């Protein structure tokens, strides 16, 4: 299974978890959990379920609040239909206006964030992430989402380039710190899913830090961050991160190491994809350089390789 597949799985799981984490008011009977219905906060015996170590799941304080939360979810997707991210964003905003102190606001904003991400709408995904961070500035998913968007959409010509990159760096670094403490995981979640989810978050955060360092021409730092990104989720390396690692090594004249990583990027991609074409260009160039007795200085890496090509 390629990185794209695990990305989808992890985001789907992350969207499912918040929908389960909301608990009914203590006076209300438990509800059956599903992707659009919050989970009740009681066990079959009626005793409070002890959440795993981490953050306490959000709770509804009143039945009208709980019912409005469910209504917001249902307004965005009919049973069996995909979520409409625009409708969900409006429903989340309306809910937040009606219940400005509700703990459930963050769940709706996070589901909205994932819905826009799955729809490849980075601008609205970032807007939803910022809404999450206004409520919980330690939320690792929102921190990573906002950091990725800022890092990938900041250009050299931007007058506030340094400030934007500093903000992205701050977000990504903080996500690495809070992934152990600020994730509310429902009781009974298998440990392997928890570990994979946290590994994905760390991998994504280190990737952002590596991209920022690369764009600042701090190639040793970029190499370090890209290696940490790969090591955080070694079973599912991101081919774009592997390609960027190859180019960071190339920029330091570490041609044999760069060629090894370029070959790895080729193995992880299909030739007809953007990332696949760039990986093969980099591999072929490095193969020529390492084939001679004295490699020539590194030329400019393939155009677009430091942006965010899709590995599909």
Listed in sequence order, the residues at least 6 apart from 182 whose beta carbon sits closer than 8 Å to its beta carbon are 54, 55, 136, 138, 139, 140
Residue 82: pLDDT band by 50, 70, 90 thresholds? confident
Q: How confident is the model at residue 22 (pLDDT cuts 50, 70, 90)?
A: low
Q: What is the pLDDT of residues 99-153, one digit of tens each?
A: 999 999 999 999 999 999 999 999 999 999 999 999 999 999 999 999 999 999 9
Q: At a CB cut-off of 8 Å and minimum separation 6, what does 105 contact?
A: 92, 95, 96, 99, 135
> What is the rounded CA–CA span in Å between residue 134 and residue 301?
39
Nearest of 233, 294, 223 to residue 260 by alpha carbon: 223
Whole-model pTM: value is 0.79
Q: Say which residue, 139 or 19, is predicted with more confidence.
A: 139
Look at the domain 1-22+60-191 and name its fold.
1.25.40
Contacts 24+ apart (CB under 8 A), 80-83: 83/111, 83/115
Q: 6-15, 66-75, 131-140, 141-150: which has the minimum mean pLDDT?
A: 6-15
- pLDDT for 55 equals 79
């Amino acid at each position: 299974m390629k990185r794209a597949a695990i990305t989808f799985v992890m985001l789907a799981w992350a969207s499912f978890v918040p929908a389960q984490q909301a608990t009914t008011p203590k006076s209300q009977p438990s509800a059956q959990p599903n992707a659009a219905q919050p989970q009740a906060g009681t066990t079959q015996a009626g005793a409070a379920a002890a959440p795993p170590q981490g953050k306490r799941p959000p709770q509804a304080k009143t039945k009208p609040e709980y019912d409005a939360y469910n209504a917001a979810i249902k307004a965005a997707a009919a049973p069996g239909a995909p979520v409409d991210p625009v409708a969900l964003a409006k429903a989340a905003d309306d809910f937040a206006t009606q219940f400005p102190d509700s703990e459930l606001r963050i769940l709706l904003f996070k589901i909205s964030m994932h819905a826009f991400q799955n729809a490849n709408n980075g601008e609205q995904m970032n807007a939803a992430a910022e809404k999450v961070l206004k409520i919980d500035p330690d939320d690792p998913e929102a921190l990573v989402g906002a950091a990725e968007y800022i890092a990938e959409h900041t250009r050299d010509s931007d007058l506030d380039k340094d400030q934007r990159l500093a903000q992205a760096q701050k977000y990504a670094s903080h996500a690495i710190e809070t992934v152990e403490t600020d994730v509310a995981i429902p009781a009974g979640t298998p440990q392997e899913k928890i570990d994979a989810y946290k590994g994905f978050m760390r991998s994504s955060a280190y990737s952002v830090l590596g991209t920022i360092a690369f764009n600042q021409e701090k190639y040793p730092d970029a190499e370090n961050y890209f290696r940490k990104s790969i090591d955080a989720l070694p079973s599912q390396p991101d081919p774009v991160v592997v390609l960027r690692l190859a180019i960071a090594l190339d920029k330091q004249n570490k041609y044999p190491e760069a060629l090894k990583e370029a070959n790895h990027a080729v193995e992880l991609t299909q030739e007809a994809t953007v990332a696949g074409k760039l990986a093969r260009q980099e591999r072929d160039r490095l193969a020529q350089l390492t084939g001679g007795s004295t490699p020539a200085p590194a030329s400019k890496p393939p155009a677009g390789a430091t942006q965010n090509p899709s590995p599909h």
